[in-house]
Structure 1
């Protein structure tokens, strides 16, 4: 979730992406490459700022191909999201608030960049200092800044094939409910590559959905019409394959047969609607499951109870498909 673009690092799993949108028989030996970033939000966070300073393509025989902010990628004229301990902007960085690019929205990072044709085994996002989350850590209604660290300062994703004359458009999608953890006893979050996926924009669709209030009333654990509309009322999980039994569906750290492809929270709009969205989903058949238990630690096998499921077929399209949970019993 395009050239080398940052759309928001949103929900996605890693996968090998074949040549994307190649529509030319040109044998010039180069391809046009674009990258974007998109995000699925973290529950209760006001902002999740990721700071980048380079993108690397690995494994085409001639060493890494690196695109650096400030050299190959133009740094924003006003970039005050990524700052050092003295509050000064960090040079040669691009800061992105991932929560501004959820669902089908994304932000361009690189556009129409020429790369050599061939097999690239890995795409790496090189992180700068300064990433953070604004969240209410004490439950007092006051958001505070909590640092985000990335192991080795790189997010290593799977690769792709660049056909000669092809036009490759990819998005990096972050499922922050899966990739971001807050370890016990630590004063920072950790952002890991799991739950971050590189997707071919020519073969993805998007999902926009609602949950009927009657469906929420079906389960006593759900909150209906909360006073604080920034608090999730339920959670939607997406699994590859249709007609999956609820008992086989794992949480983000679970051991059941079917691991989640992505997940997101459901929010009340303050009037009468309960909404959710997921973007940059690979075309195919899925089972969508609903739960009211938000205690999902990606480092642990948590006990989630899915009380409603629906089958869904995602088609490659820029227009989101719609789904409504109306209250039918799950398997």
Structure 2
């Protein structure tokens, strides 16, 4: 038995469960849940276009629930992930009525993404930094993102956050890309804050760093142990030889120039409340998202600080040449 929820992308609809079986089936305790999609900047692409057909929700010892994602014509939707970054998001399912309880897996079903480097670019593709349109593969057209919980506390809103610096991987000698679930997270919108700030451009050429290349801000769950090493991006399922003392970042963001202020800025959105260590590196030009590259973080060494984030609060930390004590504002 399957329950199917059909929800239009452009309309805020309350989608009810369509139950299979007899009329005397027991009623379900339900809550209304919404899902949005957001992204973070990536340095290897101008566009990351992905088509989606549905979201599958799995529950222990229960039938799967499928939430259809469609446009006004009943077709799968196509999204350029890079249109929704730095706090922006796209609402893809609104007020879906779901049974209360634990869900063991949320699966995003992509639509006709190619399964090899020679596949079609019609529905899933990457426009790279020089303008070439390349195939974008998703594993078996499914992104398995893990567990989440639906509670009885009113309407719940979740953001599916794509950190493309982790999840977008160049393959086949640069002729195609893979989009992996590594780095894609499900975040409860009621328990999140954000962190942003500026970076002094004099730090870009500090030491042996080349100006305007490899400028990245890394974020780690705190505290960090005295013997632990701040790591760059890597996938532990791919690189199994990373030393045990290396700490993987929670997220990382390129430093970008704001077109209005001309300041060099970074921004982390949809962060669960808690303590973090934020660190800048001017030497992150070769950060392969699958392999530990032993990038120096922080670089310069003093450019790191601990910040505390509260739900609903936008915190700020600025990296300046004369290092000051960090304050979360």
Q: Tell me which residue corresponds to 1:122.
A: 105
Taking the aligned partners of 2:44 and 2:322, their CA distance within structure 1 comes to 28
Q: Tell me which residue corresponds to 1:63.
A: 63
Taking the aligned partners of 1:329 and 1:5, their CA distance within structure 2 comes to 50
Q: Tell me which residue corresponds to 1:96.
A: 79
Give the 3-state SS of the residue equivalent to 2:166 in structure 1.
helix
Distance 1:215-1:252 versus aligned 2 partners, 3 A rule: same
Higher relative contact order (CA 8 A, sep 6+): 1
Normalising by the residue count of structure 1, what TM-score does the alignment of the two structures yield? Answer: 0.76
> What do residues 96-151 of structure 1 show as CA deviations (whole Å, max 9, x unaligned)?
11111112111101111101112111111000121111113xxxxx4110111001
Which of 312, 318, 324 is the aligned partner of 1:324?
318
Q: State whether structure 2 residue 159 is matched by structure 1 residue 171.
A: yes
Give the 3-state SS of the residue equivalent to 2:140 in structure 1.
helix
Taking the aligned partners of 1:194 and 1:5, their CA distance within structure 2 comes to 28
Taking the aligned partners of 2:310 and 2:67, their CA distance within structure 1 comes to 32
Q: State whether structure 2 residue 224 is matched by structure 1 residue 266.
A: no
Larger Rg: 2
Taking the aligned partners of 1:119 and 1:273, their CA distance within structure 2 comes to 44
> 8 Å contact 2:217–2:254 — kept in the other structure?
yes
Taking the aligned partners of 2:8 and 2:166, their CA distance within structure 1 comes to 22
Q: Tell me which residue corresponds to 1:238.
A: 219
Q: Tell me which residue corresponds to 1:295.
A: 286
Q: CA deviation at 1:327?
A: 2.8
Give the 3-state SS of the residue equivalent to 1:99 in structure 2.
helix
Which of 281, 287, 304 is the aligned partner of 2:295?
304
Give the 3-state SS of the residue equivalent to 1:69 in structure 2.
strand
Give the 5 Å matches for 1:160-239: 160-164=148-152, 166-185=154-173, 187-223=175-211, 234-239=215-220
Taking the aligned partners of 2:53 and 2:46, their CA distance within structure 1 comes to 23
Q: Tell me which residue corresponds to 1:50.
A: 50
Q: CA deviation at 1:281?
A: 0.9
Gaps of 5+ in 2: 1-6, 10-26, 113-122, 235-241, 325-329
Distance 1:277-1:268 versus aligned 2 partners, 3 A rule: same
Give the 3-state SS of the residue equivalent to 2:317 in structure 1.
strand
Q: CA deviation at 1:190?
A: 0.5
> 8 Å contact 1:28–1:165 — kept in the other structure?
no
> 8 Å contact 1:30–1:165 — kept in the other structure?
no
Give the 3-state SS of the residue equivalent to 2:209 in structure 1.
coil
Give the 3-state SS of the residue equivalent to 1:92 in structure 2.
coil
Q: Tell me which residue corresponds to 1:282.
A: 272
RMSD: 2.6
> 8 Å contact 1:123–1:158 — kept in the other structure?
yes
Distance 1:5-1:155 versus aligned 2 partners, 3 A rule: farther
Taking the aligned partners of 2:253 and 2:320, their CA distance within structure 1 comes to 18
Taking the aligned partners of 1:95 and 1:245, their CA distance within structure 2 comes to 46
> What do residues 249-272 of structure 1 show as CA deviations (whole Å, max 9, x unaligned)?
111115443111001100234775
> 8 Å contact 1:239–1:262 — kept in the other structure?
yes
Q: Tell me which residue corresponds to 2:23.
A: none
Q: Tell me which residue corresponds to 2:232.
A: 251
